[in-house]
Every structure is written in structure tokens, then in C-alpha cells.
Amino acid sequence: MRFFRLVAAVAGKDLKVELRSREILYTMGLFAAVIVVVFSFAFVKDQTALVEAVPGVAWAAVVFAGTIGLGRAFDREREGDTMRALLLAPAPRLAVFAGKTVAVTVLVVAVEAVVLPLCLLFFNLDLGTAIFDLALVLVLGAIGFATVGTVFAAMLLRTQSRDVLLPVVLYPILVPMIMAGTKATAAILAADGGDAWFWIKFLAAYDAAFAVAALWTFEALVIE
Amino acid sequence: MLTSIVVEKVGKRFGEHRALAGVEVEFTAGSVCALLGPNGAGKTTLLGILSTLVRATAGTVGYLDGTARRPIDDRLRADIGLLAHTSLCYGELTAVENLEFFATLYGLADGPARGRALLAEVGLEAPAWTRPVRTYSRGMVQRLALARALLARPSLLLLDEPFTGLDRGGAMALGARLGQAKADGAIVVCVTHDLEAIAGVTDHVVVLRRGKLACDQRQAAGYSYAELRDHYHRHAD
Amino acid sequence: MKRILVPGLAALAAAGLAVTLYLIFYWAPLERTLNFNQKIFYWHVPNWFMLFSMVFLCGGASIGYLVKRDARWDDVAHAAGQLAVLFGAIGLITGSIWGKAAWGHWWKWELRLTTSLILWLTMLGYALVRRFAGAGSERLAAGLAVFGVVNVPLVYFAVKLADSLGQASAHPKTQVVAKLTAEMKTTFQLSVVTFMLLGAALLLVRVGAIRDERRLRELRERGLDAGILDS
């Protein structure tokens, strides 16, 4: 019970800080929007953008912008040296990092809320109710990204050149998630409900597998 | 409750750079230790090791309750209050929000009330309580950092240059506050260059020089400003 | 024993390389559909075997290190990680050459190629972490190796399922390995043994060098801690 209260306190603190400055949301959102615009521009043929490019563009935007948000969410703890304050507090470190995972998930979902309408706009898509399926896919992707990303960001906390190492070590591990995400998106765009549902289940399994792996290895990896 | 801390042959190395070597010293409850030394002597590193945040590369630190050695766990960390070079607070949050957040982390039942009482006690003026910390002056940040360090009623209080940014009145009031912590039976270790502010309350002087112990003396009646200055110049220069 | 082990393994591997080269070009018959191009298969496949052996050795030794906290496990993981990058690079290059001959493309997003590439990229990340993350990154590297190994089946199944839902895959195996003649089989088996000997020799040398570096560093650190040495 106390564990969940601590998770909520850390996540709530992160989100409150973000709502005050809105720095991460604005920069991440604009970055994601620029990626979508540049890529849809790159895939134009006869003045319309190719629909086949949508899954790749959307997920590239989410992952790249998400990495920026992830990095900033941890950089922020270095500004007042508050990471030390968190580590010094008698709260389970797992709760602290679970709280950060929740906050990063919310940030990534917020970015997806920018990416999705832009994709619909630039690629002239009309999804109808399938948009809810796509939203589910994006949220599952955000959870997986935040879970794996937080573990790696936490492991890299005290190392040199962490800014460049984070994407280098993170992206290969994210490959199954990105693949499932793009396949699910493509299936939804092609109105292939069976395939879409299959990849949604795969995404959920990926989230569960790495949530367990993260919980299991966290103590050994992060705690000094 | 902690009664003493025994530092045994502690060394700390950052890669190839040696910050501390063979430091042996004991800190006792109900005493204020002035940890002195020139820049780069290893004072902050020793404070980091005492706070459990920095791991020594040699030697051990024993946290004693009577004769029992306490394990380094969350219960021990709950007894440690740290005032560091940096504020350890969030710039976007207000003073009250910062203290409430840390009160939750420390599991304090009387969190909000305790936070407000402390803010009043350290002399942070009430209109500033609900302003974001990034708008504060250096002295106001220092007062908030002190309130944060005192929040969980620590029995080990570690302070790194606590007088920085405070005006003379504030520095003297902080000195008196350390005297009160001493009277309450806390172990207080204070790194400082402001010998005037800490004179009177300090009864234990430790001087570090180039990572090694240069002086470790106690005087139950406390040290005057002149005596502290004398010790500093004799051992640190 | 230790003194002759590495030179012995190296000599055997060298002899094996010479013998397999002879067998590949003068003894094993030409394969019917791919002709001369198929010859690269004898060295290509053993390199992939070695990549996967080194990755699983790296992952296993990393788990050992995380559980036992004994730096000797970490030495093995470190050396295996470096060799995984080496064998993976050879496997990718020979594979591309073969792919060009067999499919007419240097690269195809096919099941085994994709899985191996992702794995190789993970190991490159591992090597970069070991090189650039600075002191105290041993556990981060070990964690990365464990996550990388866990990731292998996930990548494999993701690609496999994507293929089965889309078009079928076409790795040269279906055309070549099933139709191996006795001479081809013998040559291939000898190549596998040769590369295993080579891998073992390289591994022993690297583990030894990494262990010596670590011991030297530890001795120096002990001197610094004791205040005998000055930095």
C-alpha cells in the first residue's frame, strides 16, 4: 500500500513539475511533429503522401521523441541534485523508479496525441472507429517504451557519455516492440482486424515480459 | 537513534584520483563536529561517505546504537539529514510542495504541518512559501535546504557549507540551531569555512589535508573563534 | 598445461584453416544451383555459430557475475562480448556476399538475418558501454547482456510471425543444406570444429589479457587506497 502511495507521489511530483514548465512536452511534441512532417514530405508521390509509410513514420516519431523525454526526465533530477535526495530517502528505490516509469508513460502518450492527428492530417486518413484500436496500440507501446527505457536510463545514471549510450543500448532491445507496433498499425490501416488483434496481444506480452525482467533485475543493477 | 559513528581506515578513490586515505575518526551523539580543511582536502567526500550515498573504496563506517552496529538500510537512511552544496529541492515546486513530497517519501504522518513549522523556524518568510523555488535568492534556498535536512528529525545531521548565502544574522541563527540539535542528542558534522558562525557550539575539530587526517581534537567546553582559527592555520596550511 | 593450451589451440586452428581451405576448393564438389558461390557457406555458417555461442556465453557469464559478484565472471563476459562483435562482423560480411549470389541482393529482411543483425547491434552497444561508460559500468554491461539474450527469442518470434502473416521467408538453407553430399558435410563439419578451436584460442587470450589488466588496476587501486602510491 505504502509502495503504491510512493509510486503515486513520485509520478505526481514529476508531472506537476512538467505541467509548471511544460518544457519536455513542448520540445518533445514539436520534435515529433517535425519528424512526421519531414517524413511525410519524403514519401510524397503526385502531391499525396504514401499511406504505406504511416506506421514507420508514426513509430519513428514516437521512439525518437520519447528518447528525448526520457533523457530530460532524468536530467531534471540532476539539476538540484535531487537524484541524491531521492536515493537518500528511506523509500524503496523500486518505487521511485516505478513512479518515474509512470510519468514517462504519460509523457509518451501525450506525444502520441500529437503524432496521431498529424499522421491523419498529412496522410489524408479517415479511420472511423478503428482510431480506438490504434490508440490502444500506441498506449501499449508507450508502456513498453517507458518500462525498458527507465531501467536503462536508471542504469546509465552514473556513467559517462550516457546521452549517446542510452539510444545505442535501448533501441536494439526495443526492436520487437517497434516491429509489433508498426505491424499492428499497418493492419489497422488495412482494416485487417485479425492481424491487428494478434499484434496487440504481442505488444501486451512484450510489456509484461520486460516489466517482469525489469522488476527482477532492478535490485541487482541499479542499487549500490 | 544513533549514538556514535566509527570511521575506520576509510579511503576513497575516484578512478586514479585519491580523495581520502586511511581516515580514522569517531563522531559521537550530542556533539557538533567542525570538519575543516582547504579546498580539495576530501571534506565533501567524507560527508558523502557518512551519508551512505558514496561508497568508500577502503575501510568501513560503523553506525552504532549503543554497542549494536546498525545495517545500512532504509531505517538508517531515515535517520540521516543532509544539507549539500546543492539545494536537493525541485526548482519548479514551491517550498511547501517540496517539503510535502519529501515528507511522503520519509513516511511522516504530520508532513504538511511539520513542513510549515520548519519553514517558519529556519526563517523563510511566509509569502515565499508558495512561490517556485527557482525564484529564490541563494540565502532563501539555503534556508529551505536546511528545513529539508531537518524534516525527518534526523539523529545524524550532515551539513556542507551551510552558512553560504546567509546574512550574518541568519548564520548566527543557524549556529544556534545546530546547538539545539546538539542538545537534542544528535550527531552533527559540519563542513565550513565560516569559523565565526560555528564557534561556540562546536566541541570537536577535525582537519583534513590532502585526503588525510591532520587533526582530531575534542574540548567539552567548546571552541572559541580564536581557537578554531588557530587550529585551522596550524594543521591545514 | 596452461602454457601449451593457447599455442596448441592456435596451431590446431591454423592447421584446420589450411586443411578446410584445401577441402573447400579442391575436394568438395560444386553445388548444383549456386555453383562456386556456395563455397562461402563453409566459413559463413561457423561464424554465425560462433556469434551465438559467444553471445550466450556472454549472457551466461553476466548472470554469473550479477549473482556471484566475482569479477572473474565479468572477465569472461567481457571477452566473449568482444569476440561476438568480431564473429558477427565476419558473419554479416560473408552473409552479404552469399546473399548477393543466391538472391541477387546484398541484404534481405529475412528471419535469421534480422535476428542476427539485432543481436550484433546489441553486442556492439555492449562493447561501446564497456569502452566508454567509465568506471563502475560492469554491472550495466552485465545487465545489457542479460536483456540482449532475453530479447533474442522475442526478436526471432516477432520476425517469424511477421513473415508467416505476410510472405514466406527464403534463406539459402532450404536450397543448400538439405542437399549436402557426404564430402560437403565432412568439409562443413571440419570448418565448424576449426572455428570452434579458433574461438576458444581467442577467448582464452582475451580473458587472460582482460584479467591481467584488471588485476594490475586493482593492485594500483589498493596502493592508492593504502596511501602508498600517489596519483
Global ipTM: 0.90
- Answer whether 0.80 is exceeded by the pTM: yes
pLDDT digits (tens, 9 = 90+) for A98-136: 999 999 999 999 999 999 999 988 888 888 888 899 999
Under the banding of pLDDT at 50, 70 and 90, the label for residue A16 is: very high
* Residues of chain B positioned with their CB less than 8 A from the CB of C135: 14-15
Residue B162 has pLDDT above 60, yes or no: yes
CA distance B146 to chain C (A): 32
Residue C228 has pLDDT above 80, yes or no: no
* Residues of chain A positioned with their CB less than 8 A from the CB of B93: 13, 16-17, 20
Of A137-146, B172-181, C220-229, which one has max mean pLDDT? A137-146
For residue B132, the 8-state DSSP code is: B
Instruction: Identify the pLDDT of residue C22.
Output: 84
Of A142-146, A164-168, B197-201, which one has max mean pLDDT? A142-146
Residue B176 has pLDDT above 70, yes or no: yes
Average pLDDT in chain C:
83
% of chain A with per-residue pLDDT over 70: 97
pLDDT digits (tens, 9 = 90+) for C41-76: 888 888 988 999 999 999 999 999 988 888 999 999
B54 inside 8 A of chain C by CB: no
Which residue has cell 511477421?
A: C162
* Residues of chain A positioned with their CB less than 8 A from the CB of C64: none
* Residues of chain C positioned with their CB less than 8 A from the CB of A169: 122, 125-126, 128-129, 144
Indicate the residue of A172, A176, A213 with minimum beta-carbon distance to C125. Answer: A172
Residue C166 has pLDDT above 60, yes or no: no
Indicate the residue of C125, C154, C155 with minimum beta-carbon distance to A209. Answer: C154
Residue C117 Cα distances to A130, C82, C143, C195, angstroms: 34, 16, 20, 20
pLDDT (average), residues A77-103: 89
Instruction: Identify the pLDDT of residue C176.
Output: 53
pLDDT digits (tens, 9 = 90+) for B100-117: 999 999 998 887 889 999
Q: Are B187 and B27 in contact (CB under 8 A)?
A: yes
List the one residue out of C231, C216, C224 whose CA is nearest residue C71.
Answer: C216
Instruction: Identify the pLDDT of residue C171.
Output: 55
Q: Strand order in B58-65's β-sheet?
A: B17-28, B4-14, B58-65, B68-69
Which residue has cell 538472391?
A: C103
Is B11 in Cβ contact with C226 (below 8 Å)?
Answer: yes
Under the banding of pLDDT at 50, 70 and 90, the label for residue C221 is: confident
- Distance (Å, rounded) from C-alpha C72 to C-alpha C79? 11
pLDDT (average), residues A91-100: 89
* B4-14 and B17-28 strand pairing: antiparallel
* A48-49 and B17-28 strand pairing: unpaired
Residue C177 has pLDDT above 60, yes or no: no
CA distance A214 to chain C (A): 9
Under the banding of pLDDT at 50, 70 and 90, the label for residue A223 is: low
Average pLDDT in chain A:
89
pLDDT (average), residues C214-226: 83
Residue C179 has pLDDT above 70, yes or no: no
Residue C174 has pLDDT above 50, yes or no: no
CA distance B43 to chain C (A): 17
User: Subunits that touch chain C (at least 3 Cβ pairs < 8 angstroms)?
Assistant: A, B
Under the banding of pLDDT at 50, 70 and 90, the label for residue B98 is: very high
Q: Considering only residues A6 and A212, tell me which one the structure prediction assigns the higher pLDDT.
A: A6
* Residues of chain C positioned with their CB less than 8 A from the CB of A221: 66, 139-140, 142-143
Is A213 in Cβ contact with C122 (below 8 Å)?
Answer: no
B55 inside 8 A of chain A by CB: yes
Q: Which of residues 91-150 of C touch A (CB under 8 A)?
A: 118-119, 121-122, 124-126, 128-129, 132-134, 136-137, 139-140, 142-144, 146-148, 150
* Residues of chain C positioned with their CB less than 8 A from the CB of A198: 161, 165
